[in-house]
Amino acid sequence: GDIAEVAQFFSFGTNDLTQMTFGYSRDDAEARFLLTYVEEGILPVNPFQTIDRDGVGRLMKMAIDEGRKVRPDLEVGICGEHGGDPNSVEFCHIIGNNYVSCSPFRVPVARLAAAQAAVNHG
């Protein structure tokens, strides 16, 4: 909540937040073990492709809730490749994000996912 006293928006860099939450770099993890973890069911999905709702997502939700206690009109969004993943876009809508940002080639998917999330979750 303290940051929201002076910030007009929160923009989560979800790739960096994922790296810090899991404690490994994306490049090293994908090159060495991450795909095996997904194949073996240790992780349900690659957390660098789809936001990990239980870990990273929970941290995001806590920050949003605390920030909006201080600044109810706080704008919140994400930047990075997660912004073009339909599952991540849906999750961001559910937890109250106002926007997603992604690379240009992912914009059509992001727009469609945002529209579907708005229809499905109000």
pLDDT (tens digit per residue) in 22-31: 999 999 999 9
The Cα 48–Cα 52 span in angstroms is 8
Tell me the CATH number for domain 3-121: 3.20.20.60
pLDDT (tens digit per residue) in 94-103: 999 999 999 9
The Cα 75–Cα 85 span in angstroms is 20
Q: What is the pTM of this model?
A: 0.93
In the chain, the largest separation of any two C-alpha atoms, in whole Å, equals: 45
What average pLDDT does the structure give for the chain?
96
pLDDT band at 1; cut points 50, 70, 90: confident
pLDDT (tens digit per residue) in 75-97: 999 998 999 999 999 999 999 99
Task: Give domain limits for the chain.
Answer: 3-121
Predicted confidence at residue 122, as pLDDT, reads 80
